[in-house]
Structure 1
């Protein structure tokens, strides 16, 4: 069974990405799974080419450093020819209405006089990502269920029109992980592209910077360490981060900490300890471009090898080639 997951290089990998997804990929991934850096998806809005290239390499290094099997990792644009061809076939299978109904397109285009066409069509590219690899399961959050459903619709329609080529994938809601919130604004999720980096712990932040960010985290004026997501979101966020790093229950941790200073100190040390080996291995890979290029090329070759026959079949049955 093949599972496929991706991370978009829209910014540096942050603590929420690591605790919520990457660490789980490393622990639960199988030899059949595919984990890719979706650099093509990062182009749906204005971007800096040099920064995109650098972030793509950084994320590749992070995945491998975190323990994701190198042979399961690839970069999306390394299959740009295969994906470009399949995306065209799927665009010829998809209707405008189906693409325009995507919630993310509606939200990101609302009130804007002009948006890139790719913002409308990238869910079809996402369908190509999924279908090209013969994916059976796509672990996603609730916000991506609609995109996987589009891939299912297009796979069925293509198969029914031209012949059986594609596996019809299914969405699997990813297991609930640590709900990592912004340290400076706990009402929102920690994000790679947050406007203010003060509340975001990046995986490659030096330990002293990690400690400073956590020690400055927003709490409240109650002065009591309690697990209360609604009443004490800042304190609860720190408890959930500490829980994710130590494996202990958040409520149990709350009972063992007497004040906010001790909570922040414990959380800071736990995060530094959790990220240290991954940070060191990532920096070592980034300092060895030959090895990183070798890993990237091998991952691309494996992804291409197991998808070429599927693309060739799709082209043939649809009347091309």
Structure 2
């Protein structure tokens, strides 16, 4: 059956079940093998996994493929003695000035979305970062250990300070500069053994490892645990309108991203208008054909039915088909994943009791987890 024929067939039954291909399964083999290998070490048993996302707008497809899908994967497959801690990191969100009313709304919507993607408050600890003061308290203690020179070399600091248009030191904010210290505190306060991160966050996790080891050396004993990295199997999803940039919540053009709340019609429209090129055929060449390659990345990482090992093989499989047909196929793949999430979200977002209960339960559990490490840290530095 041709690609175009399969597109026509799927329009009739847009909610067909996703057939997970060999490529999608193999994408997670690396993560699973890391967990299995590390589980034999004393410090990794039982394991604690920590990750966070900023509540600065509704999550988009890039957030889902890069992080959120892995969270649910870990929840479903981690051993029962593994502690799973997922935070809406609202303290990180205010490194840029936010409208208070808008931020409160985003926090509620983000909590609803975490529940909609399948996180279970009975299995995973889900909480707002600001509800657990130990994060900020440990951040201050670690700030007394952190090197300004090291922080100044962080890639995200350079990028964000440059994009802010700041002309001098008087306009640069300490919160943005010390962002990695708070991020390290988020991880270390729960003694996380594993942290799933995207490729662009690997440097910050290495900072957390270094500051943990430096603190232990300074106090002369092992207090903080240096975490291991779990790199997300999905590479960055790029903007649909400018595919050399990462898909972002803050992009002023709403057509640049697919939100997890977008309707089927909006998804089709955004994919249809996605930037491609005038070259013939379909090929995976990120440098020469970033737009087409981004669509292939999305299709590949969604794990649709074509049985291939990588994006190059996927492009070869689709060779000779039109870009229009590719866009239709990608749109259907996105709809198959986003549609059920959107429906669950719409049933949860106005249920204040459910969200409030999840946030309260998560804050209580996260608080207990954080206090254990903070007590040891304060004792080590003479604060208690």
TM-score, structure 2 as length reference: 0.77
Structure 2 counterpart of 1:133? 190
Q: 1:254 to 1:73 in 2, by over 3 A?
A: farther
Say whether 1:211 aligns with 2:293. Answer: no
Say whether 1:6 aligns with 2:52. Answer: yes
Alpha-carbon deviation of 1:164?
3.0
Structure 2 counterpart of 1:310? 373
Alpha-carbon deviation of 1:55?
1.6
Residues 170-224 of structure 1 show CA distances to partners (whole Å, capped at 9, x for unaligned) of: 334x143154221111222211111211121111112211111111112222242
Q: What number of residue pairs does the alignment pair up? A: 319
Structure 2 counterpart of 1:94? 146
Residues 27-53 of structure 1 show CA distances to partners (whole Å, capped at 9, x for unaligned) of: 123341222111111111222122222
Alpha-carbon distance between aligned partners in 2 of 1:159 and 1:132, rounded to the nearest angstrom: 14
Say whether 1:65 aligns with 2:65. Answer: no
Structure 2 counterpart of 1:74? 127
Q: Which of 105, 122, 126 lines up with 2:179 in the alignment?
A: 122
State the secondary structure of the residue aligned to 2:233. Answer: coil
Query: Is the Cα–Cα contact under 8 Å of residues 51 and 85 in structure 2 kept in the other structure?
Result: yes
Q: Which of 61, 68, 71 lines up with 1:25 in the alignment?
A: 71
Bigger shift: 95-104 or 198-207?
Answer: 95-104
Gaps of 5+ in 1: none
Alpha-carbon deviation of 1:135?
0.9
Query: Is the Cα–Cα contact under 8 Å of residues 15 and 201 in structure 1 kept in the other structure?
Result: yes
Q: 1:101 to 1:263 in 2, by over 3 A?
A: closer
Write the mapping of 1:149-298 to structure 2, written as runs, cut at 5 A: 149-162=206-219, 163-172=221-230, 174-177=231-234, 179-245=236-302, 246-248=304-306, 249=308, 250=311, 251-252=313-314, 255-256=317-318, 258-298=321-361
Query: Is the Cα–Cα contact under 8 Å of residues 39 and 56 in structure 1 kept in the other structure?
Result: yes
Structure 1 counterpart of 2:98? 47
State the secondary structure of the residue aligned to 1:73. Answer: strand
Query: Is the Cα–Cα contact under 8 Å of residues 195 and 228 in structure 2 kept in the other structure?
Result: yes
Gaps of 5+ in 2: 1-46
Larger relative contact order (C-alpha < 8 A, sep ≥ 6)? 2
Structure 2 counterpart of 1:37? 88
Q: 1:274 to 1:178 in 2, by over 3 A?
A: farther
Alpha-carbon distance between aligned partners in 1 of 2:207 and 2:268, rounded to the nearest angstrom: 43
